[in-house]
Amino acid sequence: MFTEVPGPAAVSSKTLVVGPDGLAPERPAGGRRARAARRLVPYLYVLPAVILLLVWTYWPLVQTAGLSFQDWNLIPTKPKVFVGVAKYAKVLSLPELHQALTNTVLYIVAFLGISVALPLAFALLSRKVQGKARTFYQALIFVPFLVTPVATSAVWRWLFAPEGGTIPAIAATLGMPLGNVFRDPDSSMMSVIVIVGWQMLGFGVLVVSAGLAGISPDYAAAASIDGANQRQITWRIVLPLLSPSLVFLALMTILLSAQWTYPIIDLVTQGGPGNSSTNIYYLLYQFGFRNFDAGLSSAAGMLFFVGFGLVALVFVELSEKLSFHDN
Amino acid sequence: MAFVLTRPAAHTRPAAHTHPAAHTAAAQVGVAREADDVVAPSQHRLASRSRVKVISAAPAHVLLAVLALVSIYPVYWMFVTAFRPAGDALSTNPLPGPVSLENFLTVWQQIPIGSMLASTFGMALTLAAAQLVVAVLASYGFARWSFRGKKVLYLLFVGSWLVPFQVTMIPNYLLVSQLGLLNTVAGVVLPQLCSAFAVMMLRQHLESFPKELLDAAQMDGRSSWQTLWQVVVPNLRPALAALAIMLFISAWNEYLWPSLIMQKSTALIQIGIRAFLGAEGNNWGAIMAASTIACLPIFLIYIFLQRYVVDAFVRSGLK
């Protein structure tokens, strides 16, 4: 529908755009200088955003790459010492890193279930509810996503509180006494998953439902006339058409679940006890702002940046291949 | 957290050409089905059929109701605990009451919650407005002209999605500290001024903007700058409103960067309440009251502008 306006490379072609009255709508501005100025116009619009990106994202990325080869404790007066790949060697040998990496993968697997698979099941099973009732349910389901991180952590600490908390009380009546889940290495990670999952589930349900609503019912109607049953319609028509939404949700989960969990880890467990609930981003924070080891934090950061970049590339390729488009 | 969520992936592009159509189709389907449900019972012949429909939808209703209950219960319990008398915090009565503002009074006396709300509100409003202006300019530049280097420049925005904030936080922190902005709201706002997500989302909207309007504006002798503010922006108002609300909510809920920059200041509510939580330990009534206050502005926005909020966040995940 949209065709791009001829660019500055072809400014003179604008004269070919003829107005309704058969006249050229605009005279081409005179001299070379005016033309050069006009060629600059698009850059002027884009410039503020580009400069901000360069200053606050890309140049810092270069600086992080530089810091990863240096030993420095973040104190401006202290010299930075070049140490080659020593920081990379160190970070790869640290047991904390292995633990954080394992945890991150576990978090990702858990959130693939909670924010992709479960929402898909819920959305497919609840398709029959439409109209006002659906709007009402969805309005409630989306609320957790909006709760601010400090409040989320406070509310769940209260719900899990050994004294007076709702969840231990319910667990006790069911004959499964709960201790302090955040202080127990066996349950701390689970508790973070429950809290963040509570926030993400509703978001996933809404995204999948919106994707489902975008699929024309004509396809299903046509297929059922051809004798397809409900199961076949779901597997052969609905799911392939939904796959762009699902692939995107999965990619977001993989790339961002470490970000989603960060505030809750920081506010509820601080990665503990004994790193049992930490993840890679929390580890970066600890290396940088607790141990003041800029080199170590940067080296680990670069490794994750490259690793996640590769995962994203694979996914983008995959989504190009898997996605079916409804037109 | 919301902030990181809302950056769409590189592969927005393949789907881009379906975007406006798909969206309205979704809305229409919703409306059509709703109309079905409304009309069917009104016609006598169909009454029994619609009853069958209701019964067959019952398991789906139960499922959604359970999901809604799980989603809302923690928030409900936060309100209930906050509005109880301080002595009743451990009450297991699931119903609200007796109502008391005692906990809120405690919060009011312990921390400058009013000024925290005001400065967080100012921060989020400034940040959202600035992000919106920067994004409007950039997306207009990208959507209206083609120019040398456009692809590369646009890739910068798409690619920024792959640079996690934690990887660049040390250099960013150092720069903010060199500028003398540690522990200031300006230090929180400045590094986030460019929202790559907002640029990409607005560009999608602008690419489906009727080109005839732009041409007409040009024929009227409007400069590109006048066209932007007099023609494009007024026509994009719903999209801009949804985006602005989302940026505001994201700014309000942002945690990581304020927690690094504001280590010695409690001006922002996220950090101020974190300190309060640490100090109050098990005083759950007061803690829930403080949490309620921290959520209140977002909940008010959600109650009054629900359609925009859901639309913006969900669409960010759709594409």
Q: Which residues of A touch B21 (CB under 8 A)?
A: 327
Both structure tokens of B287: 């803690």
DSSP code string of A141-193: HHHHHHS-HHHHHHHHHHHT-TTT-HHHHHHHHTT-----TTT-TTTHHHHHH
Q: Which of A22, A40, A67 is at the close of a domain? A: A67
Q: Which residues of B touch A217 (CB under 8 A)?
A: 29
- Most A CBs within 10 Å: which of B282, B305, B318, as the mutation test of the A interface? B318
Q: Cβ separation of A63 and B199 shorter than 8 Å?
A: no
Of B283, B19, B131, nearest in space to A154 by CA: B283
Instruction: Flag whether A10 is in a domain.
Output: yes
**Closest Cβ opposite residue B219 in set A19, A214, A288:** A19
- Tens of pLDDT, residue by residue over A253-276, are 888 888 889 999 999 888 878 888
The SS3 assignment for B278 reads: helix
Q: Which residues of A touch B218 (CB under 8 A)?
A: 25-26
Q: What sections of chain A are H helices per DSSP?
A: 32-53, 59-67, 86-93, 95-112, 118-125, 131-146, 149-159, 166-173, 188-213, 217-225, 230-232, 239-264, 280-285, 294-322
**Closest Cβ opposite residue B137 in set A48, A127, A260:** A48
| Residues B94 and B137 placed together within one structural domain of the fold | no
| Residues B217 and B130 placed together within one structural domain of the fold | yes
Distance CA B94, CA B5 (A): 33
Instruction: Flag whether B7 is in a domain.
Output: no
The structure's pTM equals 0.82
**Closest Cβ opposite residue B137 in set A49, A142, A149:** A49
| Residues A229 and A277 placed together within one structural domain of the fold | yes
| Residues B204 and B263 placed together within one structural domain of the fold | yes
Q: What is the pLDDT of residue A325?
A: 54
ipTM of the complex: 0.82
| Residues A109 and A228 placed together within one structural domain of the fold | yes
Distance CA B10, CA A251 (A): 11
Indicate the number of domains in chain A: 2
Instruction: Flag whether B34 is in a domain.
Output: yes
| Residues B62 and B116 placed together within one structural domain of the fold | no
| Residues B139 and B246 placed together within one structural domain of the fold | yes
> What are the φ/ψ torsions at residue B8 (nearest 5 degrees)?
-80, 165
Contact B309, B249 (CB under 8 A): yes
| Residues B88 and B148 placed together within one structural domain of the fold | no
| Residues A21 and A90 placed together within one structural domain of the fold | no
| Residues A7 and A115 placed together within one structural domain of the fold | no
Instruction: Flag whether B319 is in a domain.
Output: no
Distance CA A280, CA A255 (A): 12
Distance CA B135, CA B199 (A): 5
Instruction: Flag whether B9 is in a domain.
Output: no
| Residues B219 and B91 placed together within one structural domain of the fold | no
Mean pLDDT of all residues in A177-186? 81
Which amino acid belongs to residue A226? D
Instruction: Flag whether A7 is in a domain.
Output: yes
Instruction: Flag whether A157 is in a domain.
Output: yes
| Residues B131 and B34 placed together within one structural domain of the fold | no
Instruction: Flag whether A137 is in a domain.
Output: yes
> Is the CB of A39 inside 8 Å of chain B's CB atoms?
yes
Q: Which residue range(s) make up the domain with A194?
A: 86-322
| Residues B85 and B129 placed together within one structural domain of the fold | no
Q: Number of A:B CB contacts under 8 A?
A: 374
Q: Which residue range(s) make up the domain with B192?
A: 112-274
Instruction: Flag whether B279 is in a domain.
Output: no
| Residues A12 and A137 placed together within one structural domain of the fold | no
| Residues B232 and B144 placed together within one structural domain of the fold | yes
| Residues A15 and A104 placed together within one structural domain of the fold | no
Q: Cβ separation of A297 and B170 shorter than 8 Å?
A: yes
Phi-psi label, residue A94: left if phi above 0, alpha if psi -120 to 50, beta otherwise = beta
Instruction: Flag whether B317 is in a domain.
Output: no
From first to last of the 319 residues of chain B, give the pLDDT tens digit.
Answer: 333 333 333 333 333 343 443 444 434 433 344 444 444 444 455 555 566 666 677 888 888 899 999 999 999 999 999 998 887 777 777 788 788 888 899 889 888 999 999 999 999 999 999 999 999 999 999 998 889 999 999 999 988 888 888 899 999 999 999 999 999 999 999 999 999 989 998 998 898 888 888 888 888 888 889 999 998 999 888 889 889 998 999 999 999 899 999 888 888 888 888 888 888 778 888 999 999 999 999 999 999 888 788 877 777 654 4
Q: Which residues of A touch B214 (CB under 8 A)?
A: 5
Residue A161 CB partners (closer than 8 Å, separation 6+): A168, B282, B284
| Residues A27 and A145 placed together within one structural domain of the fold | no
Q: Which residues of A touch B103 (CB under 8 A)?
A: none
| Residues A112 and A35 placed together within one structural domain of the fold | no
Question: What CATH number should be reported for the domain holding residue B222?
Answer: 1.10.3720.10
Instruction: Flag whether B284 is in a domain.
Output: no
Indicate the number of domains in chain B: 2
| Residues B59 and B190 placed together within one structural domain of the fold | no
- Please give the residue of chain B at the shortest CA–CA distance from A242: B318
Q: Cβ separation of A146 and B270 shorter than 8 Å?
A: no
Both structure tokens of A209: 């439902």
Interface of A with B in 90-109 (CB under 8 A): none
